[in-house]
Amino acid sequence: MPPATPPRLPPPAAAPRAIAGAFVPDEVLVTLDGGAGVAAEVAAQFGLQVRSTRVSSLLGRTVARFGIPDGRPVGFVLAQLAGDGRLAARVPNHIFQLQQATGVVGYAFERIALDASKVSGENVSVAVIDTALDPEHPALAGRVAATFDALPDMAVKDRGHGTSISGLIAGHGSFQGMAPGARLLHARAFESGVSSTDVLLAALDWAADEGAEIVNMSFVGPENSLFSAACRNAMERGIVLVAAAGNNGPGAPFGYPAAYDGVIAVTATDVHDKLMQQANRGRYIDLSAPGVNVMAPIPGGVDAVTGTSFAAAIVSGTIANLMRAGETADPQALAALLARTALDLGPPGRDEDFGAGLINAQAAMAGR
């Protein structure tokens, strides 16, 4: 039998472009109208492999993940796909990382003026996109309303970061979170601290479809137009997005999704309201919150944790209390309220280190 004739590939329709940030080296993501059949046709024409397809409710199209079996650079393949009218978007499958620094003080409630005896967030749906969590931890047992595994083919090894984030938001009993009455939705999207755009899109779609009012995203990666569109569409549905600013230092590039317009970008401060040294800086920073040596649940107990991840969780839990108290759920209005009532830190006015300043729950609830 003669060997199969390889597909005739069209030349690039645009020059291969430099790609910012880390990405899966043998994959691209596209969106298209139609289903798996159209994806298969595109893959066959361009010498690609269909690795997954699914319909994104936030993007309103099918997301196809194509593998590149022959070693062509991702930028080259994206350039080849640029001329195909069947495709609405073509992006790298960017890699994102959790924002936890290595690190006992239970100071968070005091610093943000949130009365620990009155916190609730009852019936406010908060989704966490993170590692798996420890469902048997006393602080989380019986607290998780729904779960989703965006990595079903990968064994669960890591439960630490997700346990801490979910516990800071909705922990009860042995460890009280910021909003112990919240309806907690938990999506596993990370293993060994790493995820990809395709996985995060699936998790965000699930959170939106489950009725999340707040989504906590304690991770950072490069700008990606598909994930940007999904975040924008989620906010247009009224979902408040809270994200970690990043732990990569003053000279690091902007961290996404925190740097997307409308996403509440949170940096970390310590018990003295000093900025975490390794925090990202930039005009996209919105708010500061405790995130240096804050106590949080971990598998098997409680420990001090450090990172903008945990500051973001504290802000997510605080927002759940604001919603429970009757504050508007409109993302832009909430962000403006939190900025207006924050305690100014650093130079007078908004700055690239602290944003508008330290979140002040009491002032926000009073609407000052």
Question: pLDDT digits over 276-326, tens only?
Answer: 999 999 999 999 999 999 999 999 899 899 999 999 999 999 999 999 887
Instruction: Please tell me the distance from the alpha carbon of residue 39 to that of residue 36, in angstroms, as a whole number.
Output: 5
| Cβ-based neighbour number of residue 17 at 10 Å | 12
Question: pTM for the complete prediction?
Answer: 0.87
Query: What crossing angle do the helices spanning 331-341 and 308-324 adopt, rounded to 10°?
Result: 110
Q: What is the pLDDT of residue 77?
A: 93
- State pLDDT tens for residues 257-290: 999 999 999 999 999 999 999 999 999 999 999 9
| Residue in this structure with the two tokens 């979140």, named with its chain if needed | 359
Instruction: Please tell me the distance from the alpha carbon of residue 289 to that of residue 269, in angstroms, as a whole number.
Output: 6
Find residue 65's DSSP bridge partners: 29, 52
pLDDT-based confidence at 174, cuts 50/70/90? confident
Exposed / middle / buried, residue 4 (Cβ in 10 Å: 0-12, 13-18, 19+): exposed
| Cβ-based neighbour number of residue 226 at 10 Å | 26
Separation in Å, CA 30 to CA 20, 53, 71, 234: 17, 10, 18, 19
Instruction: Please tell me the distance from the alpha carbon of residue 52 to that of residue 58, in angstroms, as a whole number.
Output: 17
E-strand stretches of the chain:
23-32, 49-56, 61-67, 87-98, 125-130, 144-149, 183-188, 194-196, 214-217, 219-220, 240-244, 264-269, 287-290, 294-298, 301-305
N-to-C CA span, the chain: 79
For the chain, list the domains and their CATH numbers: 23-94 (3.30.70), 99-366 (3.40.50.200)
pLDDT-based confidence at 105, cuts 50/70/90? very low
Question: Six-digit token pair at 306?
Answer: 């450090």
